[in-house]
Amino acid sequence: MIVEVDNLSHLYGSRKALDGLSFRVEKGRIFGLLGPNGGGKSTLFRILATMMAPSTGSARIAGFDVVSASSAVRRRIGVVFQTQSLDRKLTVGENLRAQGHLFGFSGADLSKRLEVALARMRLGDRRDDPVDTLSGGLKRRVEIAKALMHEPQVLLMDEPSTGLDPGVRRELSQHIEELRATRGVTVLLTTHILEEAERCDRLLLIHQGRRVAEGSPAELKSRVGGDVVEMETIARDGLPEQIRQRFQVEPQVIDGHIRVEIADGHRFIASVMEAFPGAITSIQLHKPTLEDVFLDETGEHLT
Amino acid sequence: MTFWLPVYTLWRRDLIRFWRERTRVLGFLGTPLIFWLIVGSGFGDMGFYYPGTLTLTVMFSAIFSMMSLIEDRREGFLLSMLVSPAPRASMVLGKVLGSSTLAWLQSVVLLVFLPLAGYPVSLHLLAQLAAVLFLIAFTFTSLGFLFAWKMDSTQGFHAIMNLVLFPLWMVSGSLFSMQQAHGWMQWLMRVNPLTYSVAAIRRLLEPSVADGSPALAVSVAVTLGCGLALWIASTAAASQKVSRSNA
């Protein structure tokens, strides 16, 4: 296990950002931490990136404790921040060289690493461009190239897709997939974007600093029973209860909508419309998403 | 080598940035120069106000160069330094040396006015002055680092400049000598570290000046001591494990 987190808790004053979180990440996986903003992902990211010590509990990366052996951890992790960490006044090449120096590389070794990093993220023709002049997607690629200069075993990425348009997002996830395939890098990323979470091998759902569920995206979605049907209704207090009795289902009321998980949703739609004429103003069916998994477990939306 | 590479790269980075934004930074030279020309001409003693002017230039440019640390934090560059295995001491040293060099360069430019101040120009004197100016620059940037490390905005920096450093500079022997000062003011000047920076320059220009300035060796030693103490304090501050509450 390349990442081991045990009973991690963190307090900001009296607010609990992480509450007894434990999980393991296998080598070579793309592991996603999925949860709403403010759910504790960023705190967890900071602790794993050795930027801050947890209140209690422990975390190890490649066998090294993130607090007591932070220097050993830093040599083994590449960190891609949600915010930019490049010097905008320097060129791409200058940024990467500076990063290499921070890790103690110089001379031919550094030049070789620079070449590899540029080629890997297809930035060869951008070496002398000032970072200021790059697009958002290119900057993100430079950030990743920078994080990989020292060939880390684990790549930590905080919300890598946030702020990127869909085309760039897909391209980014191809890069990540390529890294895992060619170099066996383990990727641990935080996200609140479903599309990005879908592409992870394994997900840990976090809510209010606690574990909600863990598994592959397919496993998690299979926990939701069949289809999901959501109804908008004219205010009628007893309706969820009436649906429960009549169809032997467990309706949830979320944000004024009635939500039902049921096999053969299309049949249910016909029956429920007939059973309560005029009460339902809108009805829709979809296959379970990770959002449904999250809703099921927490009663709250992901975003 | 792992200690000096980060120092080198951070120092070099500040120089590159300075070169690419030089018009913005050179403005700091203006204020001390105008002060000197007006006050020096007004009192008809360009020579007396010259050491204070040099000190003020170093102080201004050192403190303002160190504002780049706040920018580094805001722009995110600091983050990648913090998660690199580079020792914090070398990180701080690189940052401090970068800013010191810039402050030093700006004060060295003012040495062209040495003849106007009425002092003889010699290579020996220039070298000595340049060395002392660098020492003062190092001390001020270390102080700047200590302030900037805890700050998220540059406004606080201006407050410190106006409320702490500028008053200290006024009672450092740059405007009036220790001999001219009265009772408690003399005592205040003696405990003011800045007095020793100004005195070091004055003693180099006029070794036998009898205005109550501390001796050269004492002045240099105090400045060096302050610089080292502040650098160590900065390193200690930067080494603390932070637990910021902006989750």
**pLDDT, tens only, B128-142:** 999 999 999 999 999
Helix B88-109 to helix B4-20 angle (10° resolution) is: 40
Average pLDDT of chain A is: 91
- Minimal-distance CA residue of chain A relative to B238: A51
User: Checking DSSP bridges between strand A227-233 and strand A280-286, what pairing results, if any?
Assistant: antiparallel
What residues of A are in contact with residue B83 (Cβ under 8 Å)? 49-51, 74, 77, 79
Contacts of A68 (CB under 8 A, 6+ apart): none
pLDDT, tens digit (0-9, with 9 covering 90-100), for B169-223 = 999 999 999 888 888 999 999 999 999 999 999 999 999 888 888 999 999 999 9
Does a structural domain hold residue B13?
yes
What interface predicted TM-score (ipTM) does this complex get?
0.84
In the predicted structure, residue B247 carries a pLDDT above the cut 50: no
* For residue A214, pLDDT beyond 80: yes
pLDDT digits 0-9 by tens, A98-121: 999 999 999 999 999 999 999 988
Confidence label for B229 from pLDDT (cuts 50, 70 and 90): very high
Residue A167 pLDDT exceeds 50: yes
Q: Which of B5, B17, B82 comes nearest A104 by C-beta?
A: B5
A106: closest chain B residue by CA: B5
Which residue of chain B is at minimal alpha-carbon distance from A89? Answer: B17
A67 contacts in B (CB within 8 Å)?
241
pLDDT digits over A20-67, tens only? 999 999 999 999 999 998 889 999 999 999 999 999 999 999 999 999
How many Cβ contacts (< 8 angstroms) between chains A and B? Answer: 88
| Phi/psi-derived region of residue A191, left when phi > 0, alpha when psi is between -120 and 50, beta in every other case | beta
Give yes or no for residue A269 having a pLDDT over 80.
yes
Residue B85 is assigned to a structural domain of this protein: yes
Pairing relationship of beta strands A202-207 and A30-34 according to DSSP bridges: parallel
Q: Report the residue of chain A nearest B10, measured CA to CA.
A: A98
Of the candidates B1, B77, B81, which has its C-beta nearest A104's C-beta? Answer: B1
Is B74 a member of any domain? yes
pLDDT of B28 reads 64
Please tell me which of the candidates A42, A51, A105 has its beta carbon nearest to residue B83: A51
Categorize the per-residue pLDDT at A18 as very low, low, confident or very high, splitting at 50, 70 and 90.
very high
3-state secondary structure of B111: helix
Tell the residue number behind the tokens 């060099």, with chain if given: B101
Q: B247 lies in a domain? A: no
CB contact under 8 A, A104 and B243: no
Site from A46, A85, A94, A95 to mutate, B interface, most B CB atoms within 10 angstroms: A85
**pLDDT computed for residue A2 by the predictor:** 95
Cβ of B13 within 8 Å of Cβ of A85? The answer is no
The Cα of A184 is separated from the nearest Cα of chain B by a number of Å equal to: 22
Domain count of chain B? 1
Sheet of A227-233, strand order: A252-254, A257-262, A227-233, A280-286
Residue A260, strand partner residues: A229
Tell me the percentage of chain B whose pLDDT exceeds 90. 55
**Residue B108 covered by a domain:** yes
* Helix or strand holding residue A58 (H, E): strand A56-61
Check whether A277 has a pLDDT greater than 90: no
Instruction: Pick the residue from chain B with its C-alpha nearest to A156.
Output: B83
Nearest chain A alpha carbon to B86: A102
Residues 6 or more apart whose CB falls under 8 angstroms from that of B73 comprise B152
Give yes or no for a contact between A42 and B247, defined as CB atoms under 8 angstroms apart. Answer: yes
Tokens 């997002």 sit on residue: A169
Specify the DSSP class assigned to residue A188.
E
Res. A254: pLDDT tops 90: no
Which chain A residues are within 8 Å of B239, Cβ to Cβ?
none
Domain of B184 in residue numbering reads as: 4-241
User: Over pLDDT 70: what percentage of chain A?
Assistant: 99
Do A103 and B85 lie within an 8 Å CB cutoff?
yes
DSSP string, B22-42: HHHHHGGGHHHHHHIIIIIHH
Asked whether the predicted pLDDT for residue B23 surpasses 80, the reply is no
According to the per-residue pLDDT averaged within each range, which of A28-32, A250-254, B239-243 is highest? A28-32
Please compute the mean of the pLDDT values over residues A220-234 and round it to a whole number: 87
Q: B19 vs chain A: nearest CA distance in angstroms?
A: 10
Chain B residues within an 8 Å CB radius of A97: 9
Sheet holding A30-34, edge to edge: A77-80, A154-158, A186-191, A30-34, A202-207, A210-215
**Rounded percentage of chain A residues whose pLDDT exceeds 90:** 57
In a domain, B246, yes or no: no
Chain A residues touching chain B at CB-CB below 8 Å: 12-13, 17, 38, 42-43, 49-53, 67, 71, 74-75, 77, 79, 81, 83-90, 94, 97-99, 101-106, 146
Upper half-sphere CA count for residue A218 (Cβ side, 13 Å): 1
Q: For B75, which of A79, A84, A99 is closest by C-beta distance?
A: A84
Instruction: Residue count of chain A, please give it.
Output: 303
